[in-house]
Amino acid sequence: MIYFREHRDEYDFSLNGLYSAVGYSKQAIHQYIGRSNRYKEEVLHIIELIRQIRLDHPTMCCRHMYYKINPSYIGRDRFEAICRDYGFTAKRTKARHKTTDSSGVIRFDNLLNDKILTDKDQAWSSDITYFEIDGSFYYITFILDCYSRRILGYNVSNRLLTRQTTLPALRNAVKTRKGQIAPGIIFHSDGGGQYYADEFLEFTTQYSFKNSMCKHAYENGKAERVNGVIKNNYLHHWNLKNLGELVKGVDRAVNLYNTDKPHSSLKKMTPIQFENKLCNFKKKQPKTQVI
């Protein structure tokens, strides 16, 4: 460390010399790195979108998926190469299992395996789904309490970036709980890049969540079912025409889901009714005395 301090000026000069030798400025190199990182993020997002389409259209060929998505930042040949690299030209079962690149990707353990929940705010689950309106794709992120089934947070966006999907949805969920988040809540998701992006992990660390991930879609079943209920039971029936109407539609659907739809798993109560009953039950419990 002393040597470094004594020769810091020489070290900086050598870096400037390196930039000069390769014929690029320091700013240009950093801009290139930034573009490269953004492209990698876009690729991860396009993989998630392909996975979503494959679930609804198991036999759709890669070229048709390309024209359906029509991404402005990836050409057709590159798109088809991505499909081959990630197994999306294979059968549906393989496509559902391989959703992200295993090299350099963070993969958290599945903390919900054999986990028995006894109260709300022990585990939250999340997933991102897409909704198509007149050939345009929009993305809905849901976060629900695994015990009460209440949708705590959600967000609607026209892009799959972390700051437009999982991050605002999680902030919404924390706001729903009025910031009173006990440390150690399991946050469960699939392996999508939006769930291990640095800015997302900074937020989960701030509130002491325990990150958890599944390898297969059925291991995130509660969140997957919410996607289907909101889209198929509500949104598809409302003739939504644009992003603004979709945002209002999701607001309405979530409110109906949380406050007006009985759930068989909750003894025919809505999630809000179930949580209120749970809260009242706790208040009636005698407090343990410390001797």
Residue 56 predicted with pLDDT over 80:
no
Q: How sure is the predictor about 102, in pLDDT bands with cuts at 50, 70 and 90?
A: very low
User: Which residues, including other chains, have CB under 8 Å from residue 202's CB and lie 6 or more apart?
Assistant: none
- C-beta separation of 174 from 207 below 8 A: yes
Question: In this model, does residue 127 exceed pLDDT 70?
Answer: yes
> Nearest-CA neighbor of 214 among 86, 100, 55, 87?
100
pLDDT tens, 178-225?
989 999 999 999 888 889 898 999 999 999 999 999 988 788 999 999
pLDDT grade for 153, boundaries at 50, 70 and 90: very high
Higher pLDDT, 44 or 123: 123
Which comes out higher in pLDDT, residue 18 or 246? Answer: 246
Model confidence pLDDT, tens digit, residues 216-258: 878 899 999 999 999 999 999 999 999 999 999 999 999 999 9
- Which of residues 95 and 179 earns the better pLDDT score? 179
How large is the average pLDDT for residues 92-99? 37
Per-residue pLDDT at 50: 85
pLDDT at 116: 94
Domain ranges of the chain: 2-97, 123-282
Query: pTM of this prediction?
Result: 0.71
How buried is 272 (Cβ within 10 angstroms: 0-12 exposed, 13-18 middle, 19+ buried)?
Answer: middle
Q: Mean pLDDT lowest for which of 100-109, 146-155, 190-199?
A: 100-109
Alpha helices by DSSP H, listed for the chain, are 2-6, 8-22, 26-56, 62-69, 76-85, 92-97, 166-176, 198-206, 221-233, 243-259, 271-284
Share of the chain above pLDDT 70, in %: 80
Cα 46 to Cα 63: distance, rounded to the nearest angstrom = 14
Q: What percent of the chain has pLDDT over 90?
A: 47
| Residues 55-63, mean pLDDT to the nearest whole number | 81
Query: What value does the mean pLDDT of the chain take?
Result: 83
What's 123-282's CATH class?
Answer: alpha beta
